[in-house]
């Protein structure tokens, strides 16, 4: 066997400790697959005393991330500390020193990926990040290698376990968002400050990375439309169910004639689709391509060992080709000729829509609404008007549309919102066939 | 860009033509990912005149497979002719000449894989076969690379589209096997001679390959237990449904304390599992591992372009590292230290069981049966006794068991079959929780 490779880890939280323990437990099999031993030689953490009993005594445990950059023994830096700084400085510093990097940091890549990949290209090193999207699921590898023959048409994923747990539970129990969020927090599925998850920001970071890989374009968080799940009401989940749909928070990226779309929002999905049946904290991603057609990848999106599994897969890939020329390493970042293709404007997005419109139970109301809809080039696919609790009080119209243009829909909503018979805010959700 | 690589194809049927047309259509993107152009320089087919109008005039089209072996220009041979001979001679001949091989031929690998991989190892060339299992789904890559950190516990897959189409349709419509098979043949989902598919042989070949990759052991078709779907009755699908299960033809391989199990049989799966909801001709594979836990991969298992997509993914992997040392190529076959671990005997398999027992509607019958069951260390999980059409005529007992040992179950069946009150052959099916 060739010489072992030495790695340094930044961070030893959930993902770091999961990576370490799987590396120890399955060392023999991992070495066989990597063609050499992988040895953790240094770990950088804020409080070394907390972890010294958890790792082998041969591992140097220190506190300054610069130790990783400067240690000449270390060939690969595993960044599992999270956050933007000092993660960004560490990653750039390591690349600058000719070290390969494995990172699970989706925020870092979604915000600063271009800078990081440009430097990696210049220095001829790998930056691998399977763990940054959908935890254990080898989706980055599938997009870059498994589907290398294909043109990607779109990617749509349930890639935030917290949101999927909340939405699954709301549907199963009929309970409201805040109630279920509190339960998710108690069970450890949601953080004390859940904003990042429930407002869709985490999903947006991952979707941006998927978009970049699927279409070979630079990341640009300013181009992504983001809606979370915190305003979703139990009754919309119920109405969607009546109509044959489940609501999931999807990250979607699509190649259209206007450019690449990237968006995150609660989405109605026909309940016969496999992805509509992904429950609890699980993740799943559907990829639609020209040759392979439709594929789905399903697994754990978070957790110490599942995420560690993805980190180690990257380490094995790097170890296997670490002596090869950089062009022979499959993980080299490559931007396609699409690199300068413009993003599509969100207003140009085409989707189908679900409206819930609170209205007066009076004659002519539906005619007024239907007129606004038609004037904005939207056509109605189906409609439910709920019986009011008492005659001539308020009621609700649930409407599903055919494909329409987002800017037309926004204009229609603004106009309807002015109608005297519309009694409150109109709820707008989007539907995807995912076919 | 570095020099292009030249490939030779044997066969130009469904998979061959799909591979060729995707290679042409997406040439630019494929070259970008491979780091070089991939050029089809020769195609060997029985009737060249049939394909000459379909391929570029620069492609040499000849009839003797030895042309591929002897052509010094050709670096990679793509074997998509199927069958054992001359495919085996071609593959071995190409390897002998130091050429890499991409094959979609599951029968060849399941029957002769050891010989082929040993020679490839000796000659330092790749034999890649993503297309041999589950068509478009990058399952070989997932097992070998994406899950490289993991110990696989088991793999279970719906990997024959013909059988899944038939079973889905039987369940949807309540129709019988022969009737639905005829429809599948009419629609092109089943061959005129469907034996290979419906008797589980195709599934067995693919399962053997999955087992070999998952556990790093040589192939051995003599160790696999195979039952197809041709004897499955519509009423068992209905009873399973009543009990909360779907019946799918699964290929299963499992690491147990007695060694590796490999088996193919119709299987009851709880209907809330994602894989139970895989309908029509689609394929899906669940992989359970120690670190990543449970993953599912879903997609098209057959078809010209989906299978071509997998062939090309292998070509891209080979092209990317064709100049590297053989140890640096991720596709090198490796057998693990488990290589000499014995296979488990089928009689030692532990599973849960479904029995349908046609009986006399007389007092004491159930007591007799329950006694045999208990004497063979089997415990009953649930039981349905169907009301007979007329009193004191025949009826049926449907029984689900807890985990039991196959040899105990076989003995119990033989004993029950001797009981006077058992009126006909007992139907035996196996159930897997897939959790």
Tens digits of per-residue pLDDT, B159-190? 999 999 999 999 999 999 999 999 999 999 99
Structural tokens at position B141 = 């890559």
Q: How many CA atoms lie within 13 A of A241 on its CB side?
A: 14
Inter-chain touch A305–B298, beta carbons under 8 Å: no
Q: What is the per-residue pLDDT for A115?
A: 95
pLDDT value of position A329: 62
Distance from chain centroid for Cα A139: 11
User: What is the pLDDT confidence band of residue A68, given thresholds at 50, 70 and 90?
Assistant: very high
ipTM exceeding 0.90?
yes
Residue of B nearest to A323 (CA): B328
A24, A42 Cβ separation under 8 angstroms: no
Placement of tokens 């415990």 in the chain: B379
pLDDT at A327 > cutoff 80: no
Closest by Cβ to B298, choosing from A148, A296, A308: A296
Q: Can you tell me the distance from the alpha carbon of A413 to that of A100, in angstroms, rounded to the nearest whole number? A: 50
SS (H, E, C) B176-216: CHHHHHHHHHHHCCCCCCCHHHHCCHHHHHHHHHHHHHHHC
Q: Is the dihedral of CA A63, A66, A68, A72 positive or negative?
A: negative
Residue of chain A minimizing CA distance to B273: A277
Cα R_g (chain B), whole angstroms: 24
For A331, half-sphere exposure in the C-beta direction (CA atoms, 13 angstrom radius) is 28
What secondary structure does DSSP assign to A125-166, as a single string? Answer: --EE-GGGSSTT--HHHIIIIITTTPPEEEEEEE--HHHHHH
- What pairing do the DSSP bridges indicate for beta strands A282-289 and A152-158? antiparallel
Tell me the C-alpha distance between B140 and B146, whole Å: 9
Q: A335: pLDDT confidence band, cut at 50, 70 and 90? A: low
Q: Do A330 and B308 touch (CB under 8 A)?
A: no
A24-48: pLDDT as tens digits:
999 999 998 898 999 999 999 999 9
Of the candidates B136, B147, B308, the beta carbon closest to that of A295 is on B136
Band of the pLDDT at A17, cuts 50, 70, 90? very high
Residue with the two structure tokens 């007979």 = B388
Residues A122-143 have a mean pLDDT of 96
What are B66-104's pLDDT values in tens digits? 999 999 999 999 999 999 999 999 999 999 999 999 999
CATH of A350-431, one of 3.40.605.10, 3.30.70.260, 3.40.50.150, 1.20.140.10: 3.30.70.260
Q: Do B32 and A294 touch (CB under 8 A)?
A: no
Report the residue count for chain A: 435
- Locate A173 and state its tokens: 């129990």
Give A407→chain B minimum CA distance, Å. Answer: 33
Residue % of chain A over a pLDDT of 90: 88
pTM: 0.96
Whether the CB of A28 is below 8 Å from some CB of chain B: the reply is yes
3-state percent breakdown (helix, strand, coil) of chain B, nearest 5:
40, 25, 35
pLDDT at position A337: 46
Which CATH number is associated with domain B5-136+304-332?
A: 3.40.50.720
Kindly tell me the sign of the dihedral angle through the C-alpha atoms of B349, B353, B358, B360. positive
C-beta separation of A262 from A223 below 8 A:
yes
Residues 188-217 of B with CB under 8 A from A: 216
> Average pLDDT of A74-99?
97
- Hey, where are the domains in chain A? 5-136+304-337, 139-300, 350-431
SS3 of B348, please?
Answer: helix
pLDDT above 70 for A10: yes
A35: nearest CA partner in chain B: B327
Residues of B in contact with A290 (CB under 8 A): 22, 25-26, 305
Query: What is the nearest CA distance from A365 to chain B, expressed in angstroms?
Result: 42
Structure-model confidence comparison of residues B131 and A325, the more confident one: B131
pLDDT average, residue stretch A157-186? 97
Structure letter (DSSP) for residue B279:
-
Q: What is the DSSP letter of A248?
A: E
Q: Could you list the active site residues of B?
A: 206
Residue A53: the pLDDT is: 87
Confirm whether A206 is a catalytic residue.
yes
Q: Which residue has the tokens 């030692």?
A: B348
Helix/strand/coil for A426: coil
The reply to whether B246 touches chain A by the CB within 8 Å rule is no
The reply to whether residue A26 touches residue B330, judged by beta carbons under 8 angstroms, is no
Q: Which helix (H) or strand (E) segment is B368 a member of?
A: helix B365-375
Tens of pLDDT, residue by residue over A375-405, are: 999 999 999 887 777 777 789 999 999 999 9
Sign of CA dihedral A308, A311, A317, A319: negative
Pairing of strands A100-103, A76-79: parallel
CATH superfamily of B349-431: ACT domain (3.30.70.260)
> Smallest Cβ distance to A141: which of B29, B145, B295?
B145
Q: Are B79 and B103 in contact (CB under 8 A)?
A: yes
Backbone angles phi, psi at A418, to 5 degrees: -80, -20
Structure tokens at B154: 């088991």
Name the closest residue on chain A to residue B214, using Cα atoms.
A29
| Domain A5-136+304-337 architecture | 3-Layer(aba) Sandwich (3.40)
Residue of A nearest to B35 (CA): A327
d(CA B205, CA A321): 31
Quote the CA–CA distance of B147 and B130 in Å, as a whole number.
15
Minimum Cα–Cα distance from A320: chain B residue: B328
Residue B11, number of CB atoms within 10 A of its CB: 24
CA distances from A121 to A117, A333, A410 (A): 6, 7, 42
Which CATH class, in words, describes the domain spanning A139-300? alpha beta
- Closest CA of chain B from A163, distance in Å: 19
Chain B residues in contact with A216 (beta carbon < 8 A): 32
CA distance A87 to chain B (A): 24
How many other C-beta atoms are found inside a 10 Å radius of the C-beta of residue B236?
19
Predicted local distance difference test score (pLDDT) of residue A2: 65
B125 vs chain A: nearest CA distance in angstroms? 16
Chain A CB contacts of B28 below 8 Å: 337
Average pLDDT (A45-69) is 93
Nearest to B191 by CA among B90, B305, B50, B82: B82
Q: Which A positions 283-322 lie with beta carbon below 8 A of chain B?
A: 284, 289-300, 303, 305-306, 308-313, 316-317, 320-321
Tell if the CB–CB gap between A30 and B148 is shorter than 8 Å: yes
**8 Å CB contact of B291 and A313:** no
pLDDT the model gives residue B330:
57
Are residues B292 and A300 in contact, defined by beta-carbon separation less than 8 angstroms? yes
- Say how far apart CA B364 and CA B380 lie, in whole Å: 17
Active site residue: A106, A206, A254, A288, which one?
Answer: A206
SS3 (DSSP) at B107: helix
Closest-CA residue of A relative to B330 is A320
Q: How far is A385 from chain B (nearest CA, A)?
A: 32
Q: Write the residue in B25, B312, B337 that is nearest to A148 by C-beta.
A: B312
Task: Find chain A residues with C-beta within 8 A of B7's C-beta.
Answer: none
CB contact under 8 A, A278 and B278: no
The reported pLDDT for the residue numbered A414 is 97
- A394 close to B (CB below 8 A): no
Q: What is the mean pLDDT of chain A?
A: 93
Instruction: Say whether pLDDT at A77 is over 70.
Output: yes
Per-residue pLDDT band for A3 (boundaries 50, 70, 90) equals confident
Say if A172 is an interface residue toward chain B (CB within 8 Å). no
Look at residues A323, A39, A7, A315 and name the one whose alpha carbon lies nearest to residue B329: A323
Chain B residues touching residue A291 (CB < 8 angstroms) = 18, 22, 26, 136, 305-306, 308-309, 312
Q: How many CB pairs under 8 A join A and B?
A: 218
Q: Are A81 and A102 in contact (CB under 8 A)?
A: no
Residues of chain B predicted below pLDDT 50: 1, 337-338
DSSP secondary structure string, B143-156?
A: IIIITTTPPEEEEE
At A1 the pLDDT is 47
Smallest Cα distance from B415 to chain A, Å? 43
Q: Which helix (H) or strand (E) holds A321?
A: none
């Amino acid at each position: 066997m060739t010489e072992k490779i030495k790695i340094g880890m930044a961070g030893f939280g959930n993902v770091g400790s999961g990576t370490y323990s799987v590396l120890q437990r399955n060392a023999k099999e991992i070495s066989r697959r990597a063609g050499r031993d992988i040895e953790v030689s240094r770990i950088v953490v804020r409080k070394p005393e907390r972890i010294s009993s958890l790792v082998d005594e041969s591992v140097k445990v220190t506190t300054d991330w610069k130790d990783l950059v400067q240690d000449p023994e270390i060939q690969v830096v595993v960044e599992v500390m999270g956050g933007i700084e000092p993660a960004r400085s560490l990653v750039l510093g390591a690349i600058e020193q000719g070290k390969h990097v494995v990172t699970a940091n989706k925020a870092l890549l979604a915000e600063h990926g271009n800078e990081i990949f440009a430097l990696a290209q210049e220095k001829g090193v790998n930056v691998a990040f399977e763990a940054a999207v959908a935890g254990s699921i080898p989706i980055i590898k599938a997009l870059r290698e498994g589907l290398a023959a294909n043109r990607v048409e779109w990617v749509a994923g349930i890639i935030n376990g917290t949101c999927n747990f909340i939405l699954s539970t709301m549907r199963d129990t009929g309970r409201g968002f805040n109630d279920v969020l509190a339960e998710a927090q108690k069970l450890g599925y949601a953080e004390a400050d859940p904003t990042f998850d429930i407002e869709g920001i985490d999903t947006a970071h991952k979707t941006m990375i998927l978009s970049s890989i699927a279409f070979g374009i630079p990341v640009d968080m300013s181009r992504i439309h983001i809606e979370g799940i915190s305003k979703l009401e139990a009754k919309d989940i119920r109405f969607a169910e009546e109509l044959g749909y489940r609501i999931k928070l999807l990250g979607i990226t699509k190649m259209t004639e206007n450019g690449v779309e990237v968006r995150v929002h609660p989405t109605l999905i026909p309940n016969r689709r496999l992805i509509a049946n992904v429950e609890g904290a699980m993740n799943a991603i559907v990829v639609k391509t020209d040759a392979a057609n439709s594929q789905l990848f399903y697994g754990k999106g978070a957790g110490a060992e599942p995420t560690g599994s993805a980190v180690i897969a990257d380490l094995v890939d790097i170890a296997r080709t670490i002596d090869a020329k950089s062009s022979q390493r499959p993980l080299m970042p490559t931007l396609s000729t699409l690199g300068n293709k413009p993003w599509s404007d969100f207003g140009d997005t085409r989707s189908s829509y679900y409206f819930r419109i609170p209205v007066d139970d009076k004659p002519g109301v539906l005619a007024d609404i239907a007129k606004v809809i038609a004037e904005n080039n939207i056509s109605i696919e189906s409609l439910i008007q709920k019986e009011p609790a008492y005659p001539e009080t308020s009621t609700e119209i649930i409407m599903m549309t055919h494909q329409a243009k987002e800017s037309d829909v926004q204009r229609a909503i603004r106009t309807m919102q002015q109608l005297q018979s519309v009694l409150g805010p109109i709820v707008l959700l989007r539907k995807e066939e995912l076919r």
